Structure 1
Amino acid sequence: MSYILPVKGVHPTIGENCFVAPNATIAGDVVLGDQCTVWFNAVVRGDVNQIRIGNKTNIQDGAVIHCTYKKTGTFIGSNVSVGHNAIVHGCTIEDNVLIGMGAIVMDNALVQEHTIIAAGAVVLEKSICEGGFIYAGVPAKKVKALTQEQISGMAQTADNYVLYASWFQEGEEKQ
């Protein structure tokens, strides 16, 4: 059973056709769009501020989504993939973004549409990651422009996670 918990009387809102893994935690002022997936050991903790997540976004295993008390909520767009063990904290992630495994995006950062944050990268507070590029390193720096193939790949990853979720849902044919 998933841990979907109210905080101070505020219950998470889960969109249609979402998959929340049995040991994932979603707490407080969280709104998930439709077809989202929250995977094993992921935490989406809206206890101190709001978290808003668009449609067809996947929060992969071990990722942590949080915010800052009375200062910064977290806003994640649609078709976003938040990689395994990533941390997204008090920032804005626009649509069609890939946050790599183990990456960290800090408070008041903005990651614009069609951006890849490489595995292990650290996006510092108040940084702006311009759309259409890959950012890598500690601290994260723009390293190169995305190809059309990479942009298409991000959309495919979002679609893949909807498919993977169907494998876990009762009564659905396994593909």
Structure 2
Amino acid sequence: MSVEKISAEQFLQLQPAEDLCLLDVRTAAEVRNDALPGIIEVPVDQLDAEKFKTILQQRDHSGPVYLICQSGRRAEIAASKLAKAIENPLLIVEGGMVAIRQKKKSTTATTGTMISLERQVRIAVGILIILTVLAGFIFSPVWFGVTGLMGLGLLYAGITDNCMLGMIMAKAPWNR
């Protein structure tokens, strides 16, 4: 089916919100921290097109499915998983929850204590870089090569918008 993009502003103008099919593909921890009411929560790494098709049939929903994530990248991945399997039009909310939060102040904030996946990755890489630099000075210069590899990983993630460490951390127990 067709995949289109919609701005956060256009998304927020849709009424009534209860009738929309909202698929949030962020991790469970991110959703617990901040969510829109009435979402279907399925993390992108657990999204199965056939199971989602069954959910749509159970809800008797034939309209568009709005895909939401933190910034938009995971929603695009979800759209590619669903595009060939379901007949409903797919609309990716550009900028994800970041853009929605900027346009509208009233999302359903729950516990508010979870650190976003992006921040978790930054913290982990920062700690690893500090540790490998210290190991390079204390134990062996070989550790500087590990630091360089992390730099290459960050470069790759920045260019492709695909972070392997982020995908691994999304499966961590505290993000479930």
* TM-score (norm. length: structure 1): 0.25
Q: More relative contact order in 1 or in 2 (CA 8 Å, sep 6+)?
A: 2
Greater C-alpha radius of gyration:
2
More helix by share: 2
* TM-score (norm. length: structure 2): 0.25
More strand by share: 1
